[in-house]
Each structure stands twice: as structure tokens, then as C-alpha cells.
Amino acid sequence: MGQAASAKFTGVGRGTRMAGTTACVAFANRHTLARGRNPPDLPAHPEVAPVSNALRRRLDRAGPLLLTVVAGLAGFSAYFAMYAFRKPFSAATFTDVAGWSFALDYKIALVLAQVAGYALSKLIGVKVISELDPARRARAFIGLILSAWLALLLFAVVPAPWNVFAMFLNGLPLGMIWGIVFGYMEGRRTSEVLGAVVCASFIVSSGAVKTVGKLLMDHAHISPFWMPAAAGAVFLPVAFLSVWVLSALPPPDAADEAARVRRAPMDSTARGRFLADYGPGIALLVLTYVMATALRDFRDNFAAELWANLGYGNGAAIFTASEVPVAVLALLVLGLIIAVKDNARALLVIHAVILAGLVLLGGSTLAFQSGLVGPVTWMILSGAGLYMAYTPFNAMLFDRLIAVSGRVGTAGFLIYLADASGYAGSCALLVWRNFGLPSMRWVQVYVISTYVTSLVGSLLVLAAAAYFYRRSRTARA
């Protein structure tokens, strides 16, 4: 089914506070209006603009392969650096914390606080990211990263229990970063490859920054409370350099727009129309994503406890060593989706990939419990299956859905709608673990959760695939 059929598919013809986070992005947009629109994605600072303009000219003359490599590496590095401000704290176990006397485990409280800020940021991002002027992305990125780092400094100097709120303030700006980074990637013929590369960053980086955090504690003798800020400081130069390169990328060209539809900000009316037209399918997908996000966050935030239960609690390298194969296995499959040129067919192929990931998730757990594979192999295979199911929601799934719809818009608002819902599921799983299963080992909770996610998630994604398949058949009739 070609582009005309894809268009017909629609069936209808076509800071450290929440206010600070929003203000950072709003400030950038106001300057665009007041000073006149700059060339897309170029920084407004006069001392940076000449260098960035020179890089932009070079990239304008670059071939598709070189441009894809530069964009992919810059996006990978930018999001990798963001994780250094979000995840290192989870390498510490925070046992017997002075000043904490509540029934809720202190580390679970930290995770819940950060996730709450992150989820609230996603809700704000449904509007802000979908309406953000591309010329203001770089400035917004820098402001949000610095806000998150200041919150980590606050976490270090404020005693428990009050420093838990600092983790909320840390998560609040970071939830915007994905939409900013993916905004540079979407709407291109190579969006699957770029999306897969950037998604690889949050698989690999989570383990890598936890390794850095554990090394800082074990060898630099930095306390668990100062370690997150120290790890973030290490990656500040990477964050700034990466976003500078991203800001110099040329926008999608005419061929990109012909293949994937022109991308532009969406107002509330456009977003409402889109949800009204595709509501049932999107709802089924979001429910699948809620389960995948909850399990992925549990595995990620409590990796130290899971590995300790499995007998690998003393090594720092296990965090990274286990995640590199996960990234390779999951993203090799996802990167192949670029071979499917037809957008409607690709949308169904992505559903099949999500389903295969969910089956691998449950199947690998069954193999582990049957003694067919060891703990490291199980963690790698279950991680690969989990990320095969989770990753498409952050990039290629909604990018293809926008392309199928034939409407000018951005995938950002769909990603943020799903993310906001997903982190609510993450909070629910943690509360259930703390109060419903307080004596159960971490690895047992993970085993139960993999089975539930695999079974229920498979049913949901099959229903979503049937919905979109019927829409495509109706469009062809």
C-alpha cells in the first residue's frame, strides 16, 4: 500500500520546580517570537552561532550515510548523558539511612519521588514538547539538564527525610529530554535507524552510569548521597557537546517529508482530533506500554538488588556487561524495520516485534525457572524481550503512526501521553512491592511480573494489531 493508501488509512480523509521546568521551555519560545525565527535548530547565542553555522554547512553537504551517523551518535550521546543525571543513585542500596523511620523503604521512596516528577514532566510535555519551536530545543535541553543537576546537589546537602523531595525535583526536568532529542530524529527516512540508535542509549547508559556510580563509591570513596551529583558532573561536557551537534543538524528534506509526512508543532485541537480518530488502538497500546514501563523501571531501578539476589552483588561491571548484549539483541531487530517502506505495513510489523518481545520475556523466565539457562543468560534474554516490547513506543511506533495518518504533526505528544501513563504503572508496581509483598525477594517479584506482563501484554498488543489491520482493510476497500 503506497503513500496515497497510507493517507487514506485514516478513514476520515486525513528550574527545580514544575513552574521552572515549563518556564524554561516557554522562555525559549517567547524569544523566538520576539527576535524573529532563527534557522531551525541553530542556537541563538552569537558566540556559538558562527561555529554551529559552519557545522550546519558541512552537514548540509554531507551524504545520507554520514548525516545518519552524525545524527545517531549525537542523539545517542545526548540521551546517554541525561541518564547520568537520573540513574546513578540506583547503584546504591541506601540501607539504614539516618533520619528515615517510615514503613516505606527509603530507596523505594527515592524512586517513587523521582518517577512522580518524571511522570508529571511527561504530562506537561504532552503540550510543551508538541508545541516546542525546533529553534529552541538546544537551549531548553541545557536548561533542563542544569536544573536536574542542581536538584542532585540539593539531595546531597539536605538530610533525610527532606532530601526525598530533591529527587522529585530531579525527575521533573528530565522527563522533557527525550522529546527534545527525538525531535531531531523524527520525520526522516532513516528515523528507524536513528530511533534505534538513540534507544540503545537508554539500554546501555542505565547500566553504564550505575557502573560509574558504584566506582565513585568504591574507589573514590564518595558517599551515596554525593555520588549522583558527582556522576552527573562527569557527563556535563558530553551533554553540552552532543546538543551542540544536534542543533546543527539540517531539518528533514523534501524526500523525507514525502515519505514520512512533514513534522510540525501540534496544537490542542489537532491533538484532540488525532486521539478521537485513533483512540481505541492508542488505548490498547498505552495499556501495553504501562505494563512494559512498570517492569522495565523495576528491573532498572533495582538492578543492584536483583543481581545481589542472583549472587552477583559485588561487581560493578555486571551492570554494563549485562546490558550491552540486551541492546544488541533488541535493537538489531528494531533497526531492520527501516527495510519496510510502506508505513501501514511497517506499523503492523512493529506490533509483531512487540509481541515477539513479550513472548521472549515470558519464555526466558520459564527457561530460567526450569533450569535451562543460568541467571546471567536469563537477565540478558528477559531484558532483550522487555526492550523489544518497550523501545518501539519511544520512537518508531508512533513515528510510523503519524506517517500513516497523513497528517502534519509530531510523534512527541503520543510518546509523552504513553510515558505519563507508563510511569503511573511504575509507581503502582513499587507500592505493591513495598506493602503487598514486603517479605518477597526482589527476584521473585521480577519473575511474577514478567509472566503477568508477557501474558496480558500479548493479548493487548494482539487486539491493537487487529484494530489497525481492520483500519487498513477498510481504507483499501
Indicate if the pLDDT at residue 477 is higher than 70: no
Q: pLDDT at position 1, please?
A: 43
Classified by CATH at the fold level, domain 3-476 comes out as Growth Hormone; Chain: A; (1.20.1250)
**For residue 145, which of 251, 27, 55, 229 has the smallest C-alpha distance?**
229
The Cβ of residue 73 has, within 10 Å, a number of other Cβ atoms equal to: 14
Q: What is the mean pLDDT of residues 436-442?
A: 83
The percent of residues in the chain predicted with pLDDT above 90, rounded, is 40
**Cell for 443?**
527476584
Q: Taking the CB of residue 279, how many other CB atoms lie within 10 A of it?
A: 10
Average pLDDT over residues 359-366: 97
Mean pLDDT of 78-100: 92
What confidence score (pLDDT) does residue 284 get?
A: 95
Percentage of the residues of the chain whose pLDDT score is greater than 70: 86
For residues 167-171, average pLDDT: 96
Instruction: Give mean pLDDT, residues 142-156.
Output: 97
Q: Whole-model pTM?
A: 0.69
* pLDDT value at residue 404: 78
Arithmetic mean of pLDDT over the chain: 82
State the Rg of the chain over Cα.
22
Residue 251 clears pLDDT 70, i.e. is over it: yes
Res 207: pLDDT = 82
d(CA 34, CA 47): 20
Predicted confidence band of residue 408 (pLDDT cuts 50, 70, 90): low
Task: Extract the C-alpha cell encoding 388.
Answer: 523489544
Q: What is the pLDDT of residue 315?
A: 67
Strongest mean pLDDT among 77-81, 96-100, 177-181: 77-81
Q: What are phi and psi of 409, to 5 degrees?
A: 180, -160
Secondary structure string (H, E, C) spanning the chain: CCHHHHHHCCCCCCCCCHHHHHHHHHHHHHHHHHHCCCCCCCCCCCCCHHHHHHHHHHHHHCCHHHHHHHHHHHHHHHHHHHHCCCCHHHHCCCCCCCCCCCCCCHHHHHHHHHHHHHHHHHHHHHHHHHHCCHHHHHHHHHHHHHHHHHHHHHHHHCCCCCCHHHHHHHHHHHCCHHHHHHHCCCCCCCHHHHHHHHHHHHHHHHHHHHHHHHHHHHCCCCCCCCHHHHHHHHHHHHHHHHHHHHHCCCCCCHHHHHHHCCECCCCHHHHHHHHHHHHHHHHHHHHHHHHHHHHHHHHHHCHHHHHHHCCCCCCCCHHHHHHHHHHHHHHHHHHHHHHCCCHHHHHHHHHHHHHHHHHHHHHHHHHHHCCCCCHHHHHHHHHHHHHHHHHHHHCHHHHHHHHHHCCCECCHHHHHHHHHHHHHHHHHHHHHHHHHCCCCCHHHHHHHHHHHHHHHHHHHHHHHHHHHHHHHHHHHC
Question: What's the pLDDT tens digit per position in 186-199?
Answer: 778 877 788 778 87
Q: Distance of CA 338 to CAs 77, 153, 345, Å?
A: 22, 42, 11
What was the pLDDT predicted at 320? 75
- pLDDT score at 28: 42
For the segment 99-104, the average pLDDT, to the nearest whole number, is: 90
Residues 395-433 as b/e (b if ≥16 CB within 10 A, e otherwise) read bbbbbbbbbbbbbbbbbbbbbbbbbbbbbbbbbebbeeb
Q: pLDDT by residue (tens digit) across 25-55?
A: 443 444 443 333 344 443 333 334 445 678 8
Question: Which positions ≥6 away from 198 have C-beta within 8 Å?
Answer: 72, 75, 76, 79, 181, 182, 185, 395
Q: Dihedral through CA 364, CA 367, CA 368, CA 371, nearest 10?
A: -160
Which comes out higher in pLDDT, residue 422 or 192?
Answer: 422
The residue type found at 41 is: D
Q: Is the pLDDT of residue 380 over 50?
A: yes
What are the backbone angles phi and psi of residue 263, rounded to the nearest 5°?
A: -105, 135
Most confident of 46-50, 268-272, 335-339: 268-272
- Number of Cβ within 10 Å of residue 255's Cβ equals 11
Least confidently predicted of 4-8, 231-235, 265-269, 400-404? 4-8
Answer yes or no: is pLDDT of 357 > 60: yes
What pLDDT sits at residue 6?
A: 41
